[in-house]
Amino acid sequence: MKTVVFIFTIRKSAILFAFIQMAVGRRTARRIKGVSFAKLMGTGTGKTFTPSDADLSQWAILFVADSVDVVDSSKFISQWRKRSVKSEKYLLNPISSHGEWSKKKPFTLEPSGHADGPVVAITRARLKWSQAIRFWKSIPPVVTDLHQSPGLIYSIGIGEAPIGLQGTFSVWKSGGALRDFAYKNAPHRAAIADTEKYRWYSEELFARFELINTADFDYVN
C-alpha cells in the first residue's frame, strides 16, 4: 500500500467547494479504486490548534492506496486541481507508526530505502474537551521551538475539524533531525510528559515516513 499527501492552494472562489468537500467528499475519496484510507483536512499554522490558525486557501488530502497513479488520475483529484492555483504531492513510505486514526491503523510499514534521508512526520490526535484549555496553553512554546529547529524544512497544522481533531504535517532533513526535536528539545519533552500525565487525547497517532519524492504544480487561472 502506498501513502500520498496532496496539498492544494485553492482560489478564493473555491472556498465553498472545499467546505462542501469536507462534508461530503470523504465518501467519494474512499470509493476510489484501491483506496483503503482517506482523509480530507484543513490546514493552518498549528500555533494554537484553534480556528484562528486556519488557512482557508490551503487544504490537504491523505490517501493510503494500492496505486498512487489511480488516485492521481481520479475525477476526485481532478476537481480539486481545477479549483487550485497550486498543488503539492508527497509520495511517502511509512517506516513507523504508533497509535490509531479513526480507530484504524492505516499505514502498512515498509523498510526504509535510505539510511538517513528526508523524512515526513504526521501527528494526529483527538482532544478530550475536559483537557482543552490546558492543552492550548501548552502549545505555543512547542510551536516556537518547532519552527526554530535547524532540521525542519516545512510544517503545517492539519485537522479534520476546526477544533478537537488536530495534527501536524512536517518535513525534515533527516530522521536524526526529527528525533532531536522530539526528544532533545525541552518544550517538546515537556509536552510528551504532560500528555502522559494528563492524558488529554482520546486517540492519537504518530507516524514517520521516508520521503520518496515530491511534485509541485502551478496552474494557469
pLDDT digits (tens, 9 = 90+) for 175-202: 999 888 877 656 556 666 666 676 778 8
Domain holding 45: CATH number? 3.30.70.100
Q: How far is it, in rounded angstroms, from Cα 110 to Cα 108?
A: 7
> What is the structure's pLDDT at 142?
75
> What is the structure's pLDDT at 198?
65
pTM for the full predicted model = 0.90
Grid cell in block for residue 179: 528525533
For the segment 81-111, what is each residue's pLDDT rounded down to a tens digit?
Answer: 999 999 999 999 999 999 999 999 999 887 7
Query: CA dist 9 to 65, 99, 137, 212, Å?
Result: 23, 29, 30, 22
Residues of the chain with pLDDT > 90, as a percent, come to: 57
Q: How far is it, in rounded angstroms, from Cα 120 to Cα 16?
A: 30
- Residue numbers of the domain that contains 186: 2-218
The residue to which cell 468537500 is assigned: 21
Q: How far is it, in rounded angstroms, from Cα 188 to Cα 198?
A: 15
Count of domains forming the chain:
1
